Structure 1
Amino acid sequence: FPPVRAYNRASWKEALHGVADAFKNRRDEIEEQANSLTAHLQNANSFGTEKILKIDLPVEELFAKDSPQQMVDAIMKQADKEWGGFGRAPKFPQTFSIRFLLQYHHYTGNDEALKQACLSLDKMCMGGIYDHVGGGFARYSTDTEWLAPHFEKMLYDNALLVIALSEAYQLTKNETYKNTITETLAFIEREMTSAENGFYSALDADSEGVEGKYYTWSKNEIDEVMKGDAELFCQIFDISEEGNWEHVNIPRLLISIDEFCKTHQLNVSETIQLVQKGKEQLLSARNKRIRPLLDDKILLSWNALMNTAYSKAFMATGDERYRQKAIENMQFLLMAFASTQSSTLYHSYKDGVTKHNAFLDDYAFLIQALLTLQEITSDTTCLTRAKELAQTVLDLFVEDETGFLFYTPAGEKDIIVRKKEVYDGATPSGNAVMAANLYYLGIVFNQPEWQQQSVRMTGALQQAITRYPVSFGVWSMHLYSLLEGFNEIAIVGAGFEAGRDSVNQKYLPAKIIQAALNAHDEFPVLAGKTPSEKTPNFFLCKNYSCLNPMVKIDDFLRILAVRYN
């Protein structure tokens, strides 16, 4: 509401007086509407979850074998095959659908799925939704071509895009994806990281009251900063006197730098050096502008997503800095967000103060981050902590009638309806992530009841997942993993670290990897796995039944390729 009446809209003060008058003089009508709305919310909250406890079938009987084909067909119907992405403007990154297409290509060799996934990432990396000067992605694009973003930068968007780019790089080794990961994480460390190794929430879209002012340029500004190099830089990034958006310029690539060099017969290496120098010069100039406001809350769920992104980036690139950042951030999260009174967590942190009991997403995303961090560190305390947190989730969040998970923990006050979120939104569905966590932990700790809980949750939603995979992207990936079956990878013996890191560089969905110097009876994947004397033994197993161990990493990777395809 405006501060004063305008454009036939009541002012904020008038709206408040209207509410007060209705509450006083039309109380019965207000309460009737409130009861009706509450009933509607409760009914909407039960979508797709009625039958979960009645399902108790083997995976191969529960899920149709053609489910992945149905899902990919549904996704491709919404695919923009010219500009990438899915649906019409405004266009969001839809990283879950992209990752499902990568998974589908991996299992089937389907080139169309890979092409659409890569087209989507390519166009975003080239477009104005990506900050070519400072790195990082904006929230969404207001147009079909990814030119004009809503300039707000969210931590979770950048985390989810780094995860998708890391998996795409594992599959394709496309250097554009690696470079974009590097620039995006450099932005996170430069502008979104606290001294305590937490990650801030967001950067505003506006500065000086104008959306995008911090990120846009006139050609004259670039000429002044870059001098003689400006003309070529402007050609590469679609920058002109008249501007490409509202009389100013949003840097973007209409074609890749390699294609530009080929068309204009330029040396690629020299051109890339010029572009890099120009980016650094423009970033230095931009740093003198009035910055957008920083939302410096540190949220557990979004931090956990970025922690997973750092682990995935390390897997893909082998850059040790990313592993170290994931370790440091996790140490901060486990210390700062833990309750001193119980095994529960808090949701937000700022200036040394934690607030609000953690939601389902906080637990689910943190467990996921712990599982991923263990895969790159072999720190088994990550697994035991993840198991403890999973038990807390089952104690505090489960709806007894369905087995699905509420968004809020038991005992919360002033909640009209305890909602259950099964759809993906801007962030993954906490129920979907938790279903994947339970299956993973069920294998790691030989707890088949957790695996069955995961299968039942997925089975109760399978019709919706299959019909609407864009809205159920994380569920889609988990359903596909259940159909294909999880592979258990154990690496045991001297030099296990290098072997683990080599395996992690490969794109391997639906896998559990544990590596150690010696066998561990506490963990079934490592139990009874004898090391060799000088090099590690590599074991590939399913349901704890293993092939003969291998000592050569190349042989093991070849077997993995066959097993997965």
Structure 2
Amino acid sequence: MPNRLAHATSPYLLQHAGNPVEWWEWGDDAFAEAERSGRPVLLSVGYAACHWCHVMAHESFEDEATAARMNRDFVNVKVDREERPDVDTVYMAATQALTGQGGWPMTVFLTPDRRPFYAGTYFPPTPRQGMPAFVQVLDAVGSAWRDRRDEVVASAGGIATQLAEQALIAAPGAVGEAELEAARTTLARDFDATYGGFGRAPKFPPSMVLEALLRDGSEDTLAMAHRTCTAMARGGIYDQLAGGFARYSVDAHWVVPHFEKMLYDNALLLGVYTHLWRRTGDALAARVVEETVDWLLRELRTPEGAFAASLDADSLDEAGHLHEGAYYAWTPDQLVEVLGEHDGAWAAEVFTVTTAGTFEHGASTLQRLGAGEGEVERLVSVRARLAEARARRPRPGRDDKVVAAWNGWLVDALAEAAVVLDRPDWLEAARVAAQTLWDLHLVDGRLRRTSRDGRAGTATGILEDHGALAAAYVRLACATGDPVWVERSRTLLALVEEQFGDGKGGYFDTAADAESLYTRPHEVTDNATPSGLSSALRALRLMARLTGEDAYARRADEAAATVGALVGRAPRFAGWLWADAVSEVLPSAAPVEVAVVGPEGPERDAMARLAWRLAPAGSVVVAATEGSGGFALLEDRTARDGRPTAYVCRGFVCRLPVSDEAALGAELQRAA
């Protein structure tokens, strides 16, 4: 019989709707029941594509005896961290403080007034490698609550107070050339010159840091960015048959990924590889952009036109067992079975599929380290046949909820890639996704975090949702020439100031009128995704450059100053802040505003595309007919002799207009 999760919008919660555990969704009703019954709350946090979340669910939450213990002693609350990142953030801080580590599934025990007193991550069904069995944890916590409740409550109060005091660790400071040099030096020490990336295994795609390196543009920073992007694109973390990146590599060589594919990774990396192509003309970067967009449109696009959250790591193997990576890994015999003896042996060499295996059970992930590059037609044929055969395998599950921030980052990157690579179909896909978010996620004038099957969820949008979507709308306004997106971005940024400001120049992650947790999240570092602050900062900068309004630039400066010290101290966790500082500090990287006015047609499109490609990152480019309204950048701009004419400006102070591509290129070079 289904439990209370049967009516949830989150696919992750719905995965647990058939558990014998009497789950509650996060909310006042669950905590009221804990208070009424005198039981503590067992909070379990995970997400749909999480491998170990599935493992713990199968081992413990589907077990009748374990569920009976949980139901007797606890009020059990299940949370999708992607739907409620605010809940995840504050209790992850508690878990890390109590255990020294974090991860998912996350298990936290709370008092009925929501304060944590014990926490962990994955617990096995039997004692293993120093970890207690989950039932042992349940019994110990239940016993402590019954026999020493006053002590537990006092401990919870102390933990909550300490965490609340630590939550607002400021890192104010101005960023100048010395701080940028310190960031370069620090990052160079962590750089893996052999395999690319930073630090040791596991390695996550350093998307925000790569953006900063590309903006910096020195010989050394470009080399680090290029080496890392190339290694990832040729490694097992990238799907060599269908495109798209997995979440991270378990090794330092990018060979074996943790196989789930997240929308946010692919959105952010799409922007990075587009930028890499703009800076270098690298053919591999262009291929990755095209394949990744094709994969996104094919695998993650929802019927409403937005993009789903993720694909699972796990799928059924040949024996019918759920196994991580089963959809993606190959043995030499499987290649021969699909391709025949000759092409199968060749494919094994091209994709580094060995008899010993690079993954598990004699299977290998597919890499593309350079073999066979000269045999283009053969490679195209082999990839197509393998992709067709793989498509007949049981497919990984899809978490089809739509997350506002993740779609915002994708629309931002997709709109730029569409214009740079002359793909109007991509631009239309970005526009439809943006419209879907506006139509579906704006409810009574406020932004919702998620939706599914055309129905908005109940969780309110957090700072990153507003910032990511506001930036995307500015980018779309530039790419389409439609000023409606400027006004929509203005609406979202007004909400940012109204609901998220911290009174000190920075921002909280949750709205002022959102549910009150025991501490208000205020995360300023980039991790797997940009922080809410850096997302808002990106939107403010783009809006300031497009509109010329000082208020946006002033707020961006104030916000950046609240966290500036992070750039020199911890550049790996301040990538977008570092990128912003590069644009503000280095004259060679300073963004420009470009207006291209004139009649529609190939000539105007070509000039706009050139401007998008050559202008420094963070620039704005608008192309429209003469006299078009809605953009301050276009006011008083005229087409000379009826031809498309470009104006290259900085701070709305413009150089002489030009009417051909060569002259525009020269102007952009001079502006740099």
Distance apart, 1:257 and its partner CA: 4.3
Contact 1:78 1:87 in 2 (8 A): yes
Name the CA distance, whole Å, in 1 between partners of 2:566 and 2:462: 24
Aligned to 1:445: 547
Contact 1:298 1:350 in 2 (8 A): yes
Q: Secondary structure at the match of 1:513?
A: strand
Deviates more, 1:406-415 or 1:495-504: 495-504
Name the CA distance, whole Å, in 1 between partners of 2:510 and 2:659: 48
Distance apart, 1:519 and its partner CA: 4.4
Distance apart, 1:34 and its partner CA: 1.9
Name the CA distance, whole Å, in 1 between partners of 2:157 and 2:309: 36
Runs of 4+, deviation exceeding 6 Å = none
The partner residue of 1:382 within 474, 480, 485 is 485
Structure 1 residues 372 and 91, CA gap change in structure 2 (3 angstroms) = same
Deviates more, 1:232-241 or 1:81-90: 232-241
Aligned to 1:262: none
Name the CA distance, whole Å, in 1 between partners of 2:596 and 2:329: 50
The partner residue of 1:87 within 195, 199, 207 is 199
Distance apart, 1:329 and its partner CA: 1.2
The partner residue of 1:392 within 495, 519, 522 is 495
Q: Does 1:295 align with 2:399?
A: yes
Q: Secondary structure at the match of 1:357?
A: coil
Counterparts of 1:10-89 in structure 2 under 5 Å? Answer: 10-48=132-170, 62-89=174-201
Q: Does 1:344 align with 2:446?
A: yes
Aligned to 1:410: 512
Q: Does 1:365 align with 2:468?
A: yes
Q: What amino acid maps onto 1:447 in structure 2?
A: E
Contact 1:376 1:504 in 2 (8 A): no
Contact 1:216 1:250 in 2 (8 A): yes
Distance apart, 1:88 and its partner CA: 0.7
Q: Does 1:176 align with 2:293?
A: no
Deviation per residue, 1:77-134 (Å, 9 max, x gap): 11111111111110111022222111111xxxx3222122111111111111111122
Long gaps (5+) in structure 2: 1-55, 61-124, 317-321
RMSD: 2.0
Q: Secondary structure at the match of 1:76?
A: helix
Q: Secondary structure at the match of 2:464?
A: helix
Q: What amino acid maps onto 1:528 in structure 2?
A: D
Name the CA distance, whole Å, in 1 between partners of 2:615 and 2:253: 29
Size of the aligned set, in residue pairs, is 536
Distance apart, 1:514 and its partner CA: 2.4
Deviates more, 1:348-357 or 1:79-88: 348-357
Q: Does 1:197 align with 2:305?
A: yes
Distance apart, 1:444 and its partner CA: 3.2
Aligned to 1:248: 363
Counterparts of 1:78-157 in structure 2 under 5 Å? Answer: 78-105=190-217, 110-157=218-265
Distance apart, 1:171 and its partner CA: 1.3
Contact 1:74 1:469 in 2 (8 A): yes
* TM-score for the superposition, normalised by structure 2: 0.76
Name the CA distance, whole Å, in 1 between partners of 2:127 and 2:647: 71
Structure 1 residues 244 and 408, CA gap change in structure 2 (3 angstroms) = same
Aligned to 1:236: 350
Distance apart, 1:521 and its partner CA: 7.0
Q: Secondary structure at the match of 2:634?
A: coil
Name the CA distance, whole Å, in 2 between partners of 1:256 and 1:31: 62
The partner residue of 1:306 within 410, 423, 432 is 410
Q: What amino acid maps onto 2:165 in structure 1?
A: N
Aligned to 2:127: 6
Q: In percent, how many aligned pairs have the same letter?
A: 26
The partner residue of 1:469 within 558, 565, 571 is 571
Distance apart, 1:432 and its partner CA: 0.9
Deviation per residue, 1:357-400 (Å, 9 max, x gap): 11111111111111111221111111111011100111111112
Name the CA distance, whole Å, in 2 between partners of 1:489 and 1:244: 49
Aligned to 1:57: none
Aligned to 2:384: 280
Counterparts of 1:539-550 in structure 2 under 5 Å? Answer: 539-550=647-658
Distance apart, 1:524 and its partner CA: 3.2
Aligned to 2:271: 163
Long gaps (5+) in structure 1: 53-61, 259-267
Aligned to 2:115: none
Q: What amino acid maps onto 2:356 in structure 1?
A: E
Name the CA distance, whole Å, in 1 between partners of 2:570 and 2:492: 30
Name the CA distance, whole Å, in 1 between partners of 2:567 and 2:502: 21
Name the CA distance, whole Å, in 2 between partners of 1:65 and 1:11: 53
Q: Does 1:224 align with 2:337?
A: yes
Deviation per residue, 1:403-431 (Å, 9 max, x gap): 21111112222411111121001111110
Name the CA distance, whole Å, in 1 between partners of 2:126 and 2:354: 41
Q: Secondary structure at the match of 1:210?
A: strand
Name the CA distance, whole Å, in 2 between partners of 1:173 and 1:26: 66
Contact 2:356 2:363 in 1 (8 A): yes
Contact 1:359 1:407 in 2 (8 A): yes
Name the CA distance, whole Å, in 1 between partners of 2:369 and 2:606: 40
Q: Compare relative contact order (CA 8 Å, sep 6+) and give the higher one, 1 or 2.
A: 1
Aligned to 2:67: none
Name the CA distance, whole Å, in 2 between partners of 1:274 and 1:325: 31
Name the CA distance, whole Å, in 2 between partners of 1:67 and 1:257: 44
Q: What amino acid maps onto 1:488 in structure 2?
A: E
Distance apart, 1:146 and its partner CA: 0.7
